Amino acid sequence: MQTGFAFTRFADRLTSVAELSSDDLELLARMPSAIRHFSSHDEIRRRGEHASECCLLLQGYTCWKDADHSAGQITSIHVPGDVPDLYTTLSPRVDARLCALGPAVVAFVPHAFFRDLGAQSERMAHALSLLALADIACLRNWLVILGSCESLARAAHLICEITVRLRAVGLARDDRFPSPFTQSDLAAICGISPVHANRTIQDLRRKGLLQWQSRMITITDWPGLVRLAGFKPDYLRLRQPVLQPEPRSSEPQSNGAEMPFSAL
């Protein structure tokens, strides 16, 4: 199979939720795309527009924002390999704002390709359905977290989830990855004030659970972070959830999300 930049992460994402053959993955080699670069907080999708393409995230992070919320409430975050607006292949109207969190690279792929992909391979159709179901499950789970957890557990859970999702597509090596958040972003996700968000990250640091230096997050106590968050990854629908951290090497490694991100 060709391993072009435009779909390698997507292949990783699909195989994280479904067993696919080499023939299935070879179908991705014919994927047409137009690649665009976005700056931090650029709007990728506008609420109310009718999409004819899906956004395949190649680098960086994106988020859905509620346009009606005065603080720009962030409702979900996406990592490389995700297709945040996959649902538009069924219903093309965009119902929120899709924005970049930090610099991002996005491939715009026609809806027709995803429809053809599902028609040519039953396993691919199943994998695409699982991706859509995983997005719904993530949103449902986050609603529970917002309603039942204190801010410290919310932040810990969010970081646990992002770490596992990055691991699933071959990123977050050594449990180290670019921060997807500014202080305001974290506040908008967790439903707290920016000042409270800053204090929350300081608490996680003081507990020795993570380091947040420059633009990088390094998890230093994965079991402790999981316990604090009460994190259980079943809702992510991964075939092999990665809960144990990878062995740390003495040399820092690139995690594939090459572009810098704002940190607190």
CATH number at residue 104: 2.60.120.10
Q: For residue 244, what pLDDT is reported?
A: 56
98 occurs within a structural domain: yes
230 occurs within a structural domain: no
Q: Residue 55 pLDDT more than 50?
A: yes
192 occurs within a structural domain: no
The rounded distance, in Å, linking the Cα atoms of 226 and 153 is: 9
Report helix angle 151-168 to 122-148, nearest 10.
160
Q: What are phi and psi of 96, to 5 degrees?
A: -160, -170
226 occurs within a structural domain: no
> pLDDT category, 253, cuts 50, 70, 90?
very low
Number of structural domains in the chain = 1
204 occurs within a structural domain: no
Measured in whole angstroms, the distance separating CA 122 from the mean position of its chain's CA atoms is 25
Instruction: Provide the pairing of β-strand 34-38 with 216-219.
Output: unpaired
The tokens for 216 are 């990088």
Q: Residue 178 pLDDT more than 70?
A: yes
106 occurs within a structural domain: yes
Domain that holds residue 88: 8-121
195 occurs within a structural domain: no
pLDDT in tens, 16-34: 999 999 999 999 988 999 9
Q: Residue 1 pLDDT more than 50?
A: no
> pLDDT category, 164, cuts 50, 70, 90?
very high
> By the 8 A CB rule, do 261 and 215 touch?
yes
74 occurs within a structural domain: yes
Q: Residue 152 pLDDT more than 60?
A: yes
pLDDT in tens, 187-220: 999 999 999 999 999 999 999 999 988 789 999 9
Q: Residue 70 pLDDT more than 70?
A: no
Better-scored residue on pLDDT, 173 or 153: 153
